[in-house]
Structure 1
Amino acid sequence: MKELNRMRPSSNRPAARASQQSNVDAKSYVIISKLPADQYTKYVENKEASHLTGFAFVVIGIIHLAGGKLSEVLSVIKSVMSSRYLQKEKVTGPEGNIVMYELAERALDQSISAELKKYISQVVNKETTTQEDD
């Protein structure tokens, strides 16, 4: 188990800068698995949520590359949509109206799709190798 200190977002108000300790909001904890990779994959990993984990990883990577802060993640998605990598569709279903994002022309291009699959495979294989070394 690892303890995390959650911080409030920085503010331009002088009162918020009064003390470093006042920025500590609450303590959170995460559990770090020490299981071997094959057992973790078999018994713990949630395949149904892997797309969310992958998306979170990408968003965190983008924010990291932007210097740790980004004004709005949705602006990045809009930029990707205007470049025709993604398209947005409104769908009415049992849960009500939802917005679905799907691959657009440029993302479906064979050369881009092949390179993306190759890269994802390398990342997954590298992660599996790293977990086995732990």
Structure 2
Amino acid sequence: MRELQRILPSSKSNARSSQPNVGDSKSYILVSKLAHEVYEKYVVDVNSAHLSGFTFVIISIVYLAGGKIEEELLWSQMRRMGLSEDKVNHLVLGNIKQSLELLVQQRYLQKDKVNGPEGNTMYYELAERTLDGPINDKIKEYVAQIVKKDNISLAA
């Protein structure tokens, strides 16, 4: 088990730069020490592989956007994959909004509302579980392979 340092969204940490960028609550994750082959054979649940794929894709989109993305741009990218915010009965993922919210609850992402001249804008930002050293390194490695191979662009 490893403790993750809870972080504040970047807009809140910038506003309070004299305070540390750490919240009061604690988050923990379990880290497997099993060999990859053993983990794949005995731990990986093929029935939940779609959630792992969804998590990886969403985190990759946010990562490629610089670690923070406006909610509307994220939904725009998801719509390009056939995932819309009003889809409540997706064949594999079920309610898409709830699947995205689950990533926030699991601390892969965090949501932040920013007040601007045009009104409030919601952002998704990488959270501590994604920014954790080994996880972050794997994400960077996989994303780099995909981008290099397919020359992917986040243009809307």
After TM superposition, the score normalised by the length of structure 2 is 0.46
Shift of residue 63, structure 1, vs aligned partner: 0.7
**Deviation per CA, 1:22-62, whole angstroms, max 9, x where unpaired?**
64242211111111222212221121111111111111111
Q: Which residue of 2 aligns with 1:4?
A: 4
**Deviation per CA, 1:97-116, whole angstroms, max 9, x where unpaired?**
x33279xxxxxxxxxxxxxx
Distance of 2:43 and 2:26 partners within structure 1: 25
Residue type at the aligned position of 1:64 = Y
For residues 90-101 of structure 1, the aligned pairs below 5 Å read: 98-100=88-90
Shift of residue 5, structure 1, vs aligned partner: 0.9
Q: Does the 8 Å CA contact 1:87/1:101 hold for their aligned counterparts?
A: no
Which protein has the larger Cα radius of gyration, Structure 1 or Structure 2? Answer: 1
Q: Which has the higher contact order (CA 8 A, sep 6+)?
A: 2
Q: Which has the higher helix share?
A: 1
Q: Which residue of 1 aligns with 2:58?
A: 59
Of all paired residues, the percent bearing the same amino acid is: 41
Distance of 2:59 and 2:83 partners within structure 1: 22
Q: Does the 8 Å CA contact 1:6/1:28 hold for their aligned counterparts?
A: yes
5+ residue gaps, structure 1: 92-97, 103-122, 124-134
**Structural RMSD (CA):** 3.1
Q: Does the 8 Å CA contact 1:5/1:25 hold for their aligned counterparts?
A: no
Q: Which residue of 1 aligns with 2:44?
A: 45
Q: Does the 8 Å CA contact 1:7/1:25 hold for their aligned counterparts?
A: no
Q: Which residue of 2 aligns with 1:128?
A: none
Match of 1:32, SS state, is coil
After TM superposition, the score normalised by the length of structure 1 is 0.53
Distance of 1:40 and 1:67 partners within structure 2: 31
Q: Which has the higher strand share?
A: 1
**Deviation per CA, 1:50-95, whole angstroms, max 9, x where unpaired?**
11111111111111111110001222223x0xxxx5276x88xxxx
Q: Which residue of 2 aligns with 1:106?
A: none
Q: Which residue of 1 aligns with 2:67?
A: 68
